Amino acid sequence: MRSSFALPFLFAMLYSLLFSQCIGSFRDAEALYQNGRYEEAIEEFNKVLFVSATDLKTLHLRARSYEELQMYDKATRDYHRILSLDPTYAQAYAGIGKIAWEKDDMKTAEKNFLLAARHDPKDYDILIFLSRAMIKNGRYKSAGEFLDEAIRLKPEEPMPHYYKGIAMAYSGDGLGVIVSFNKYLEIEPDNLSAHYNRGFALMKLGYKEWAIEDFDKVLDDNPKHYEALARRALCLMDKNPRQACFDLETAALNGNLLAKSNLQRCNGYQ
């Protein structure tokens, strides 16, 4: 009698064991993902999806794991799968946009970041990605508008001011460049790129003394920034032509094209 019950019992135990090995733990998978163990995380997410194939959060984190491993085709398939289940899932559009950015396909990146922002207009990171893609695509006014929204969401964050300054520079708004970089440098006073760009804008608007201060800051930290050296020289030309010409010659000897094109101004000071 025992033997008649033993076989079904063993089959039941074996089935239970095999089935339990197919069931993953989302918490374990998420912990692996958070610790950067993406390959192991994918294995665990696969187990979760074996039981719940339409779980959006699991699909999203598996896509992010693929993305971190630069397995972009698999990540994209997961993002499209998410959108087939929920066409309003903003982070899936954002994921496709980031992959397009990595592939230098800025039109596709902008399109998907715009869709992401449409479905989640208060997501700060999406707005920053969208604005940067728009700058790459030459849509400076629109980029500035989305950056203004990012500033409203997080006024203490420096990056929207920086990218707005870049957008203003490309659109030829010198005063806008100065205002944006002033805001940025209030928060991040040591950023050399911001000092250089503000100095360039100040120079263009004729505020040479203030421009020199920015170029001095750049050159104090990076004496081999020959573009800043050449621009400072041009600002100094009327006030201190000998120093200006020395700087132009130094920059020119190091290959700076701006300095080379202005060396003729030094003929009377050599």
Alpha-carbon gap, residue 169 to 268, rounded angstroms: 34
Q: What is the pLDDT of residues 141-173, one digit of tens each?
A: 999 999 999 999 999 999 999 999 999 999 999
For each of the domains in the chain, give its residue range(s) and CATH number, in order of start: 24-87 (1.25.40.10), 214-270 (no CATH)
Alpha-carbon gap, residue 233 to 267, rounded angstroms: 15
Per-residue pLDDT at 18: 44
Q: What is the pLDDT of residues 245-261, one digit of tens each?
A: 999 999 999 999 999 99
Residue 238 scores a pLDDT above 50: yes
Alpha-carbon gap, residue 57 to 37, rounded angstroms: 18
Q: What is the pLDDT of residues 11-59, one digit of tens each?
A: 444 434 444 454 557 788 889 899 999 999 999 999 999 888 888 999 9
Q: Are 33 and 41 in contact (CB under 8 A)?
A: yes
Alpha-carbon gap, residue 179 to 157, rounded angstroms: 15
Residue 228: name the closest of 247, 206, 205 by CA.
247
Q: What is the pLDDT of residues 89-114, one digit of tens each?
A: 999 999 999 999 999 999 999 999 99
Rounded to two decimals, the pTM is: 0.81
Q: Are 229 and 214 in contact (CB under 8 A)?
A: no
